[in-house]
Structure 1
Amino acid sequence: MRQHNAGVVATTDGVRRRDPDSVVEYFSAALYASTAWPQDFPRQVTAAYDPAAGQLVLDWELPACAVVPEIKAVRYLTTADQDKETPRPVGQRRALYREVLAQCVLLVLHELFAADELGALESVALNGFVDGHDPTTGRPGHIFLATVMASRSAFAELHLAQVDAVSCLADALRGQLSARPDQLTPVRPGRRPQEVGNRVVAHGDDEDPDLFAMDPIAFENLVADLFRAMGMQAVTTQRSNDGGVDVDALDPAPIRGGKIVVQVKRYRNTVPPTAVRDLYGTVQDTGANKGVLVTTSGFGPGSHTFANGKPLELVPGTELVDLLHRHGLRGRLGGNGRQVPAQRTSSPPDTRLPDDYNVLGMSWTGGVALDVCALVCRGSRVLSDDHFVFFNNPGTPDGAVRALPATAPDKAAICVSFDALPAEADRFVLVAAVDPDVEPHADLSGFTDASIRLLDPGLAELGRLEVSDGRPHETALVLGSFRRRANGDWDFVLGGKGYPGGLEELVRDFGIEVE
């Protein structure tokens, strides 16, 4: 006890002297000791302290979008003896998630300044991140969804009980919050701990096992452990003659319980719709009450469309990690481990794409909010649902097409490797549609002076392609298409066909079924 108390006194003296190690240790402890956080929220921090400026600089992990349920309501249908789930609208889920992220940022600032009894903090530079994959390189890493630099005086003037969290962060504190955090649209982080020059200290969950690197049998056992932790009986099946079932589970809950068959896919790319169809066949063949498909990656629109209304549940990687942590188990999706040495860099990191990729940057005048999407087609039909790149499917399974964060002057960007497109593909189509969640009553009359910039992997402009203006009463538009010639080259053909029924009507024209 005396040794412990002596350590507390030494840390307190270090904070009073503005010793960087003591300051970081003290305020990290304050964040971890807080009882204001929900139990299943992450608590991972990387921090450094600038004693000359009195500034604590930290990266703080934010909860993933899975904290906001995709389902808005569940109604039991007696005639069909099944649950009917009502999905939460994408716009509502996005708004709720942005509210959660803004509250998290404000709570971190509140806890830090409230703990500063010795006056060590003149300001706090905070970057909030989630774990994900860099859309330009595909490598796992931190994606920053919020950033703010708050001085003690500015924060002291706030009345947190009365503020709107999003407005407070963006307006009062002049911070930045991702416009679409559900799609992992990043913001540019402010000052980073590695830029401070002192030793960087990291605390958190990087010791969790990487699910991508886990032995397949161990991964199946981990999923079985998860079902047992959720109160079910669960066993892994034999490797041979398992009938497409990796884990057999039994939910003892009356009425809604019963036999559950579980398939486990340790994938990096999007799970194809055929796997979901196969699982449904297994559910029917085995007489199970439900089928669950668990993956380390995600699912495309075709999979969700097929599973809708059926006794199937799709668990993507982000939700799997959330469930593991919620039930006392461990796991993460990639990650490079903790970086503790401080580094100063004189130039930004290299974000150059591989040499066989081009970037298509989209710009226009007018204030209409648009989603720019791409379709990989043969003729006028998309190759598959997974070859429709949009906000819920940011890339094709082969990685030939990916959505990118746009850089000025572009408002949207897509990268494509024309050489890597499937051999059967002869058209690469770009389309734009009004975002109904942002502007439900808008049309394309405000879409003018539009163009597509063709960029090389280093984002140098190679050329500019003009596209048609939008028209009143239309809410979706084919911008144009790249068409493969007999010699393998690609030519751009101007589009212009508009649709009053929005993106749904447009994609139906290309062979995608929308329910």
Structure 2
Amino acid sequence: MSRRSTGLVGVWAEVQRQQQRAREAEARQRREQERQARAYQRHVAQSHREYRQAEARRRTEELEAQVATLQALLSAGCRASAFRAAALMRTEEIPPFDPGPLAWPVPMPDQNQYQAQGGWTANRRAQAQAEAQARFERDWHAAQTAEAQRRQQLAAYQREYEQRAEAQRSEVRRHNAGITEVTEGVRQGDPDSVVEYFSAALYASTAWPEGFPRQVSAAYDSAARQLVLDWELPGYRVVPEAKSVRYMPTLDQDKETPRPVGQRRALYREALAQCMLLVLHQLFAADESAALESVALNGFVDDHDPATGRQAQIVLATVMAPRAVFTELHLEQVDAVSCLTEALRGQLSSRPDQLVSVRPSRRPQDVANRVATRGGDEEPDLYEMDPIAFESLVADLFRAMGMQAVTTQRSNDGGVDVDALDPTPIRGGKIVVQVKRYRNTVPPTAVRDLYGTVQDRGANKGVLVTTSGFGPGSRTFANGKPLELISGSELVDLLHRHGLRGCLGERGRTTPAQPAPSSPTTRSDDYNVLGMSWSGSVALDVCALVCTGNQVLSDDHLVFFNNPRTPDGSVRAVPATPPDKAAIRVSFDALPDSADRFVLVAAIDPEVNPDADLSGFTDACIRLLNPAMVELGRLEVSDGRPRETALVLGSFRRRSNGDWDFVLGGKGYTGGLEELVRDHGIEVE
């Protein structure tokens, strides 16, 4: 008969079983973790492999798309709209005058709303009635003053509108007259007009892929009615060297499959032939006046001559195409190489990849009149450039920056010169572009009009491009809005960075918009008024400092109650008009050349409020006004803080292109105006 043990042996056995179960659980957990780690590594490796494979497929698709674009160059170009001079004509439609809030008169107070408050006795009732009448008269006079100011601003705004409208109409008339003059010159066979018209037709064409060159030199033989031109062709690199990309998992790297040399050379010759035929097609399609009996076309590349090693124009294709022969061709169905060399009896280099040249039959310099060149090494003067060409150049710049852009060649363009589309996700979208070929500073009204156009068109952004610059009013209005202002110097820099040409003034020297700033030559109406207002009853002195960096130019360049103007008169204190409590007049263009900052400060008036601080200085703002006292913009500034008795409101800082930007201040001083000016380099006795 067996006996079950309930002593130490049983306890020991149970402990052993528990330990064994724990070890088995740990082993199972360890195996599960290892399994999950292996699964994760397989997932990561699979995801990495799939990503690299997808990236390789994407690169292959890009290569195939490049080749497809080259192969369809001629057929796509033939479907593009022909260049027409009539499409360049503009109408004199000017947006109607819209005064905005200025159109509404200031409401006058109603005396019935001013009832006497209180009064149990006759004397108190009489006093209450007198107080009510005084309140009414005070508010009535204030409303009358505001209404007079509104009418003054409305009249000034309407004068500005009429001047701007007349300037726009004059520009449209001048533009249309120029188009009419050129087209009439083409009809009469004037060589300069013919060359200008057909060069513009080629240069403004949207049929060429991004990155293709657009350099053209042309001359017109009026006797033979033949246009002779040299047109730059794309280089050999336009055909991708790689045919496809494949990801190799074992090496974790991409491998490019090279395109066979023979295939690449054949594609390049075909692309060159299509370029030549497309140029001819665009010229004859644009010839509304039948000015061209034939075209002598030479296609060249700008590269190093293999024989001399020097940079040269190497002609790789040439053809003389009579109109009667060319117009009988069905270009969308031809083999480009056969059409060029056989049907038109032209020449095409047998080894263009090795820059083997052909002999052109006729060059533009062989024609006995002036040769016009576009897109070459010469820097075109943006000031003198034709407005149409200038708009096309801006559109070229946007395309070079990776956007889709077209000039608005319709009469009802709504004030938009270029329509652009940025394909970049999130920050991209529709962009409207206005182009101002000015020599003087762009007025803030132009920036306001652009903002209205952005809203009317539902665009994501508006860009204003000019050959001149922008004043503080324009910069202030554009701040915080979907607007971008590109000045002349910034435009030239962008052109050069994206492989385009342009300069401000002859030979790249910037032509000044106005004489060198100084008080004798500065126009009397070329200034701004900075009106300052704030809440609270604290009495303040508002001062201005003309500085280089953080140092005042001299003691005389601190404008305050004891020195109401600078020596040259470019800055002066003026009486404030409601709602402003203080005002400073400044001619930014007349500030000394050595000045790069114009600083506005406020300080407690120690004679009126000797124990006050700036804690009562709140809701402060600076209004930017034009000479007619029309508000151009408003700048919010920092509130004051306890124990501070002086505060830097902000500073206008000169940009490298001559414009001025506003930078918010906020630095406070407990030692009043004396400490502030001492911090800016003025010794206080």
Q: What's the TM-score, normalizing by structure 2?
A: 0.31
Q: Flag the structure with higher helix content.
A: 2
- Higher share of residues assigned strand: 1
Structure with larger RCO (C-alpha < 8 A, sep 6+):
1
Structure with bigger gyration radius: 2
Structure 1 length normalisation: TM-score?
A: 0.41
